[in-house]
Amino acid sequence: MKKAIIRISIFVLAVVFVSCSGTKKITEQEIANAAVNKPVEKIAEQKQMEFEYLFLEALKQKMFGNMQKAIQLLSSCLEIDPNSSAAMFELANIHAANNDFTSASLLLEKAISLNGDNKWYKQLLAQIYQQQRKFSEAADIYTQLLQDDPENMELLYTKAILLSNAQKFDEAIATYDLMEKKAGINEQLSVAKQQLYVTSGNIDGAFNEIEKLIEFDPEEAKYYGLLADLYLSTGDSVKALENYNKILVMDPQNGFVHFSLANYYISIGEIDKAYEETKIGFSSDNVDIQNKLQLYMMLISNREKSKITDEKEEELIQILLEKHPDEFLVYTVYAESLLKKQKLPEARIALLKALDIQPDDYMMWERVLFIDNDLQDWEALHKHSKETIGLFPNQPQGYLLNAVATIQLEKFEETITVTEEGIDFIIDNPQLEGQFLMLKGEAVYKLDRKPEAFKLFDKAISLDPENYIAMNNYAYYLSLDGGDLNKAERMSGKVVQRFPNNSTYLDTHAWVLFKKGEYKLAKFYMESAIKNGGDKNATLLEHYGDILFMSEKLDEAKEYWEKAKENGGNSEVLLRKIREQKYFEE
pLDDT in tens, 126-159: 999 999 999 999 999 999 999 999 999 999 999 9
Round to whole Å and give the CA distance between 9 and 158.
13
Amino acid letter, 241: L
Which range among 2-6, 319-323, 551-555, 577-581 shows the weakest confidence by mean pLDDT? 2-6
Report d(CA 161, CA 167) in Å as an integer.
Answer: 10
**pTM for the predicted model, two decimal places:** 0.67
Q: Which of 313, 291, 315, 292 is nearest to 302 (CA)?
A: 313
Amino acid at 125: L
Q: What angle do CA 397, 398, 400 make, to 5 degrees?
A: 60
Predicted confidence at residue 570, as pLDDT, reads 87
Are 382 and 409 spatial neighbours (Cβ–Cβ below 8 Å)?
A: yes
**Among the CATH numbers 1.10.10.10, 1.25.40.10, 1.20.140.10, 2.60.40.420, which is that of 18-132?**
1.25.40.10
Confidence grade of residue 556 (pLDDT, cut at 50, 70, 90): very high
In angstroms, the CA 399 to CA 405 distance is 10
Q: Write the single-letter amino acid at 449.
A: R
Q: Is the dihedral of CA 150, 156, 160, 163 positive or negative?
A: negative
| Mean pLDDT, range 77-82, rounded to an integer | 94
SS3 assignment, position 274 = helix
Quote the pLDDT of residue 16.
30
pLDDT-derived band of residue 29, with 50, 70 and 90 as boundaries?
Answer: very low
CA distance 481 to 488: 11
The residue type found at 73 is: L
Q: At what angle do helices 187-199 and 169-183 cross, to 10 degrees?
A: 160
| HSE-up of residue 219 (Cα within 13 Å, Cβ side) | 0
Under a CB-based contact definition with an 8 Å cutoff, are residues 194 and 230 in contact? yes
Angle 287-290-291 (CA atoms, 0-180°, nearest 5)? 50
For 333-366, what is each residue's pLDDT tens digit?
999 999 999 999 999 999 999 999 999 999 999 9
Separation of CA 2 from chain center: 34
Closest CA to 280 of 265, 267, 269, 268: 265
- What does the pLDDT read at residue 426? 94
Instruction: Report how far residue 446's alpha carbon sits from residue 259's, in angstroms, rounded to the nearest whole number.
Output: 61
pLDDT of residue 584: 85
Predicted pLDDT of residue 43:
59
CA distance 241 to 224: 11
Q: Name the residue among 328, 335, 333 with its Cα closest to residue 357.
A: 328
Average confidence (pLDDT) over 409-417: 97
Across the range 398-402, mean pLDDT stands at 97
Rounded to whole angstroms, the Cα distance separating 164 from 240 reads: 28
Query: Rounded to the nearest 5 degrees, what angle is found at the Cα of 195, between the Cα atoms of 194 and 198?
Result: 90
Q: Is the pLDDT assigned to residue 32 strictly greater than 70?
A: no
So what's the pLDDT on residue 267? Answer: 85
Q: What is the dihedral of CA 64, 66, 72, 75, to 10 degrees?
A: 50
Contact 400, 416 (CB under 8 A): no
Over range 403-418, report the average pLDDT: 97
Q: Please write the tens of the pLDDT for every residue from 297-332.
A: 988 888 888 888 999 999 999 999 999 999 999 999
Nearest CA to 526 among 564, 579, 485, 567?
A: 564
CA atoms lying within 13 Å on the CB side of residue 551:
21
Which pLDDT belongs to residue 521? 95
> What pLDDT is stored for residue 39 in this prediction?
53
Q: What percent of the chain has pLDDT over 70?
A: 93
Distance CA 139, CA 154 (A): 13
Q: DSSP per residue over 178-214, as a string?
A: HHHHHH---HHHHHHHHHHHHHTT-HHHHHHHHHHHH
